[in-house]
Chain A
Amino acid sequence: MAISQGQHVEKKPIFETTKGKQKKVGKTMPSVFGHVGLSLVLPVLLILLWEGVTRFQIVETHLLPAPTVIVETIADWAVDGSLWQHGGITLYRIFWGFIWGSLAAVALGSLVGMSNKAETMFDPLIQAFRAIPSLAWVPLFILWLGIGEPSKVTLISVGVFFPVYLNVVGGIQSVDRKLIEVGKAYGLSSFQLVRRIILPASMPSFLVGLRSGLGLGWMFVVAAELMGASQGLGYLLILGQNTLQPEVILASIVLFAILGKITDYGLKKIQSRVLHWQDRIDSSKG
């Protein structure tokens, strides 16, 4: 009797401390505003420091222009219309590259994910192509398709293709066998199984693929525009380099950052809207 009581006394505190810890974590979770404020501290300090060292000529401004100069450059572009022209063509390229790359990836990925035969037939080849650094294709695409839009869009879609493809295949192949059994027990046909179970269940992985595909798309749009373009934000990078205007380079870098962030934010919103049912660790944050 005494021994068993002693065990109880020993066990209880352990259980309660872990519970207490969990509660604390929940309470100290920063509110949305605190969160945003905290994440802004460092960038704001860095920009102030940057402005300071350029204002007081501590670094040479013909190499590193002040943040205000960069903002002015962007504002000038907005006024004379070149911002919309260059930004627009870059967005156009990434849009079509993203669409074609994802479509091809979804088509091939679902085929490979669903059928073992297709997997043994296509997957080794696709994996072999994946081993080629995608930028190595550039000369060939230019040779085949010229330096116009088609070669650029093709290059970008190659970049988008692989992450989306890998995630589609992975998503389909990792659908819980137990859920598929439920469908089978209800006598669903293969098509119904795909539509009612496999498709929704592989959605999380697919959206992750789209987001990383978009990230790579931005990388490849820069690459495509660096190599022979007469328009686009990537062209402005080269222009800045050739005309010794670092503010032009930095302004287009900033624009790349802004556009990349906005498009990713859009996909992220779609992701959290489509996947609101997902049981994730951070879902309690809201």
Chain B
Amino acid sequence: MSIEVSNVSRRFKGETAVNNVSFQAEKGEIVGLLGTSGCGKSTILRAIAGLDNGYEGTISVNGNPKRGTSKELGVIFQEPRLMPWLTVVDNVCFGLAGTKAENQIKAKKLLKVVGLEGFENYYPKQLSGGMAQRTAIARALVTEPDTLLLDEPFSALDAFTKLQLQDMVLDLWDSYQPTMIIVTHDIDEALSLCDRVVILKGQPGELYKNVQLNQPKPRSKADPELAKIKEEILYSLGLSRNTNEKIAKEA
């Protein structure tokens, strides 16, 4: 599905959290939403997911304005949000409609991919934070939704697992080209996964930059072109090394 966010603003009790943000995700495109904490990334994602209808502006799916949730949208929340009364494998099956046996097979396959083989019958209370998040990732991916909305899906994971799962996301994309919107703090993550990076800034959050990346994937971290873009993004967020050094000197 293609998604178009146009002139979306969100106020909470008179306080503006997101101000007039517009961007597009073409069908099959991976879009990164990048920005510092509190600039409204989760708020925008919730609006796209249809979980929050209190925004102004329009969000269109395939050209049609919509409000409300839809089965074609898979969401990975910032927290795992597992059902504590279900085992890991039943949590993964949560959104599946088919017969139990079929679902279990699908779920187990995906649990293997996220490295949770052997933990199928654990309850969420027995999982570590990263394991819980990986379960939540499996739960969202198992339904193979047309569009995936990911809210900092990997930020609770160690660097190594994170790289593995980023690869998994790319494999997944290769297999059926879902549209994805990934919220992240991590510039490297955005640069290695995304076709487009939308940068939000400030409080209230406003659109600051919309960077298109045309490099083929998988991308090498050492790509000088990407390094340049990274420096640009850091600079625009006021975080480049030069500014950091300045801050350090002043302190």
Contact = CB atoms under 8 A, between A and B. Distances in A.
Interface string B48-75: 0111000000000000000001110111
Given A185-B49, A185-B51, A186-B95, A279 B84 contact: yes
A179 B83 contact: yes
Contacts of B171: none
B81 A187 contact: no
B125 A181 contact: no
B94 interface: yes
Interface in A193-209: 196-197, 200-201, 203
Contacts of B124: 277, 279
Nearest to B94: A186
B241 to A, nearest CB: 22
B71 A186 contact: yes
B119 interface: no
A178 interface: yes
Interface string B186-222: 0000000000000000000000000000000000000
B94 A182 contact: yes
Contacts, number: 50
Given A179-B83, A182-B94, A279-B84, A187 B125 contact: no
Contacts of A196: 94
B123 A277 contact: yes
Given A182-B77, A187-B71, A278-B125, A200 B95 contact: no
A185 B70 CA distance: 7
> Which residue among A179, A181, A200 has the maximum number of chain B CB atoms within 10 Å of its CB?
A181
A283 interface: yes
B79 interface: yes
Nearest to A183: B94
Contacts of B94: 182, 186, 196
Nearest to B83: A179
A184 interface: yes
Contacts of A276: 123
A277 B84 contact: yes
A283 B79 CA distance: 24
Given A278-B125, A279-B125, A283-B125, A185 B75 contact: yes
Query: Chain A contact residues (Cβ within 8 angstroms of B): what range?
Result: 10 to 19
Given A279-B84, A279-B125, A178 B49 contact: no
Interface in A235-286: 276-279, 283
Contact of A187 (B70, B86, B123): B70
Contact of B85 (A181, A186, A187, A200): A200
A181 B51 contact: yes
Given A179-B81, A186-B95, A277 B73 contact: no
A203 B83 CA distance: 13
B152 to A, nearest CB: 15
Given A178-B77, A277-B123, A184 B83 contact: no
Contacts of B77: 178, 181-182
A178 B79 contact: yes
A201 B86 CA distance: 11
A283 B123 CA distance: 13
Nearest to A184: B69
Given A185-B69, A186-B95, A277 B125 contact: yes
A272 to B, nearest CB: 14
Contacts of A203: 85
A274 to B, nearest CB: 9
A184 B75 CA distance: 10
Nearest to B123: A277
B122 to A, nearest CB: 10
Contact of A277 (B71, B74, B79, B85): B85
B163 to A, nearest CB: 27
Nearest to B70: A187
Nearest to B73: A185
Given A185-B69, A185-B73, A185-B75, A178 B125 contact: no
Contacts of B84: 277-279
Contacts of B79: 178
20 contacts: A178-B79, A179-B83, A181-B51, A182-B75, A182-B81, A182-B94, A185-B51, A185-B69, A186-B71, A186-B143, A187-B69, A197-B83, A200-B85, A277-B85, A277-B86, A277-B123, A277-B125, A278-B84, A278-B125, A283-B125
Interface of B: 49-51, 69-71, 73-75, 77, 79, 81, 83-86, 94-95, 123-125, 143
Given A185-B69, A203-B85, 6 more contacts: A178-B77, A179-B81, A184-B69, A186-B143, A201-B83, A277-B84
Q: Which 8 A-B pairs have CB atoms at the shortest separation, nearest pair first?
A: A279-B125, A186-B95, A187-B71, A185-B75, A277-B85, A200-B85, A277-B123, A182-B81
